[in-house]
Amino acid sequence: MDPELEAFIPFLPDTDVTDPLTARRNFAERAAARPAPEAELLDVEDRTVPGDPDVAVRIYRPRDGTSPLGAIIWLHGGGFVFGDLETEHPWAAKLAHGSGALVVSVDYRRSPEHRYPAALDDAWTVLGWLAGHAEELGVDPERIAVGGHSAGGGLAAGLALRSRDRRGPAIRFQLLNQPGLDDRQETWSQRHFTATPWHDRAKLTAIWAHYLGDAVADEYAAPARATELSGLPPAYISTAEFDPLRDEEIVYALQLMQAGVPVELHQWPGTFHGSQAILSADVSQRQLAELCEVLRRALA
């Protein structure tokens, strides 16, 4: 374990995802206690994307960006259970400020009240809206990326698959930070990381149960199940060493490469799932800086 991260482990809160309402409330309270992000160089706007149902989004526009901008649809983490526009605000702002991209943060529906495919449907609605309103938003329609962290990264990968298969809007790039990709939990890291910080096998079992209910996952719910990956957008995949999700992410990256998809894979030694939230650690600062730089290059 990275020494700077290890020092924080005794103080990390335990999230009980078997009680979704309490998990949401506690997560929101912790997020609200953080210092507000620096957003002086951003224009931030809340909007509602028409759909069935409508989807709330928060748009971050860098004031010093060139026009038209590249854009990313950003999907928050939280195990499909918690997280919203407010809790994701610091990260979306950092991404917009650091990359120069227009960031569209999506308040997708959460489980277990809204099971799969509700969250993916919301992301699909926003993708179509962004592509259709690119000129109004000052966005280059050929420079639209999708991305997210954890559950949001899995949603982004599923969105790229759906857009390819349904011949939806063109996606330039996938920015997948520690994405959740496989409900089967059969990899080495899933079977052995049963007590890792913040994220362990038992929590992931509960998360997938909330998300899927009685349904059987398909490749859009769990992209690791996809058997045909050719024709997908180039991807950046970031993994944490002590994360149950690690091996499914590495396998997915390799399968993308074997299908002819350009991939940048970065395995961060000494880290655990979500440890980049410990901003004082040098490795966390490097992780966040790299996400921004990768997105900047991809949308250049």
Residues designated as active site: 150, 243, 273
Instruction: Burial-class residue 3 by CB neighbours within 10 Å (0-12, 13-18, 19+).
Output: exposed
Write down the residue that tokens 């980049």 correspond to: 276
Instruction: Choose among 260, 269, 252, 267: nearest CA to 184.
Output: 252
d(CA 123, CA 105): 10
d(CA 2, CA 240): 11
Neighbours of 36 (CB within 10 A): 9
Residue by residue, DSSP assigns 107-134 as: ----TTTS-TTHHHHHHHHHHHHHHHTH
